[in-house]
A and B are shown apart, each in its own frame.
Chain A
Amino acid sequence: VSPPSAPDGSLVPVPVALKPRGGGNGTGTGSSPELQQEAEGLAL
């Protein structure tokens, strides 16, 4: 994503790390249903 220019030039600092939730592969794609469910929390 190309950030638009801000008057004060402030941007969200890039995260130091992106970690998988619950010990998955962490790619963010093709995650297991269990990992997705953990990510969703409850949906009752």
Chain B
Amino acid sequence: ASDPSGAVNFVAMVDNLQGDSGRGYYLELLLGTPPQKLNILVDTGSSNFAVAGAPNADLTSYFNTKESSTYKLLGTVVTVKYTQGSWIGTLGTDVVTIPKGINGTFTINIVAISESENFFLKGVQWHGILGLAYDALAKPSSSVETFFDSLVNQANIPNIFSLQMCGAGLPVTGTGTNGGSLVLGGIEPSLYKGEIWYTPVEKEWYYQVEILKLEVGGENLNLDCKEYNSDKAIVDSGTTLLRLPEKVFSAVVGAIIQKSLIQEFSSGFWSGVQLACWAKSEQPWTFFPEISIYLRDENSSRSFRITIFPQLYIQPAFETSQNLRCYRFGISSSTNALVIGATVMEGFYVIFDRTQKRVGFALSTCAEVGGSPVSGIDGPFETTDVASTCVSTISFHEPLLWIVSYALMSFCGLVLLVLIVLLLLPARCRRHYSDNGIVNDESSLVRHRWK
């Protein structure tokens, strides 16, 4: 339960998170000198470390940079826009300690948020965000060293972290006191069961992975596998739901309706704005199918699948009455990505192995409801029925497309410039160049005829 070098004690990091899938999982950090205690959301879908730097009506606390003797203002204004919400802040550096993490004090980049919109939601118990994705996503540029890179460099820990979120079967926006673990620098064996299955990171920005196939109730959706990765498929702890590209979402909802033999359901339930409530004596989970996601294995001719049971995607809501228990649908549609969010991650211990450019999944020890597992993982499967690549080319070749478009624009600009010059040249001048002043009978005749 520790780093082979003996420098890190992973057991100390077990249960260092609090929160739920609805409002996110957060870690306690101490910032500045003297230390200011703040809760920080763990987000594998972004790369900036940012904290509230001014009082906010929805927050109980903020980072007061003026009170910290070690805070250094760098002054760069940073703006970050998320799928939902945005903020503006100013870049600086300060020291941080992680009470349930790596021993020591580290100097890291911090953005002090001065303005935000739809970012700090009502009722959240965190005051900032810890972006654990690659530096390619860091704002204003990738030259801003990320929190985890600073930790790896200064604490000399392996370039790997792992995440267990323990909200399966519990209300999505409840008391926010569910547990979880962020293991910095390695893998803690007590947090998973069975084998770890790894899928390659397709591109180091988000944790982008390749999805080959989706099954609902054991039946293949049979969509073109590129649809599942349109325009990317990522693993993101900062997203609550399992988000699916629109076409995939429609197919999944259709298959769930078919498989669950649902008699009558409002569209508001599938779109997420309505809860479905059953008598407490009913067991609605037993009627819904399992959903399996097939991921490319490290051996590219193979795959493995992660399966979520209905306990993970038909989620109990906090709003219950005496006789009823209400649930919400934990899957939504997306216009630009497939996001393996907290809904799915709660079923697994997820390893972000940056050294070997791969993401690992294993059965989480806390993915149980009433003593029964709510997730599954198995393989290997052959990939003969799937294309050699399912990753959208648009996302893969984006830099190349930019180069091509710039080259075309330059060529068009050059042609336009030549045309303009030709138009602007005085007619006489053109005539001069064309006939060099030589006048013969024929040309003179033509000219005079025109006159």
Contacts and interface: CB of A to CB of B under 8 A. Distances in A.
B172 to A, nearest CB: 7
A42 B277 contact: no
Contacts of B173: 41
A3 B260 CA distance: 9
A12 B262 contact: yes
B406 interface: no
Contacts of A11: 261-263, 287
B326 A19 contact: yes
B277 A40 contact: no
Given A6-B261, A40-B240, A18 B277 contact: yes
B274 A21 contact: yes
Nearest to B273: A31
Nearest to A10: B261
A34 to B, nearest CB: 9
A44 B272 contact: no
A27 B257 CA distance: 20
B332 A40 contact: yes
Contacts of B324: 16-17
A16 to B, nearest CB: 6
Given A19-B326, A41-B22, A44-B129, A10 B272 contact: no
Nearest to B339: A43
Interface in A1-25: 1, 3-4, 6, 10-21, 24
Given A1-B265, A4-B261, A12-B263, A42 B23 contact: yes
B274 A28 contact: yes
A20 to B, nearest CB: 6
B319 A19 contact: yes
Contacts of A17: 276-277, 324, 326
Interface in B333-361: 339, 342
Contacts of B45: 44
- Which bracket fits the contact residues of B? 35 or more
Nearest to B262: A12
B279 A36 contact: no
B159 to A, nearest CB: 23
A40 B264 contact: no
B272 A18 contact: no
Nearest to A1: B257
A40 B274 contact: no
Contact of A42 (B239, B260, B279): B239
Contacts of A15: 265, 276-278, 284
B85 interface: yes
Contacts of B269: 18, 28
B5 interface: no
A28 B238 contact: no
Of A3, A11, A15, A27, which is in contact with the most chain B CB atoms at under 10 Å from its CB? Answer: A15
Contacts of A37: 84, 118, 121
Contacts of A10: 261, 287
Contacts of A36: 272-273
Nearest to B256: A12
Given A40-B240, A42-B84, A43-B240, A19 B282 contact: no
Nearest to A33: B118
A22 to B, nearest CB: 9
Contacts of B23: 41-42
A12 B287 contact: yes
A33 to B, nearest CB: 9
A41 B240 contact: yes
A18 B266 contact: yes
Contacts of B278: 13, 15-16
Interface of A: 1, 3-4, 6, 10-21, 24, 26-29, 31, 35-37, 39-44
Given A1-B264, A12-B284, 8 more contacts: A1-B257, A1-B262, A3-B261, A19-B275, A20-B273, A37-B84, A40-B272, A43-B83
20 contacts: A1-B257, A10-B287, A15-B276, A17-B276, A17-B324, A18-B269, A18-B276, A18-B277, A19-B277, A27-B268, A28-B267, A28-B269, A31-B268, A36-B273, A41-B21, A41-B23, A42-B22, A42-B239, A44-B84, A44-B239
5 closest A-B pairs by beta carbon, nearest first, are A28-B268, A41-B240, A44-B238, A39-B272, A43-B83
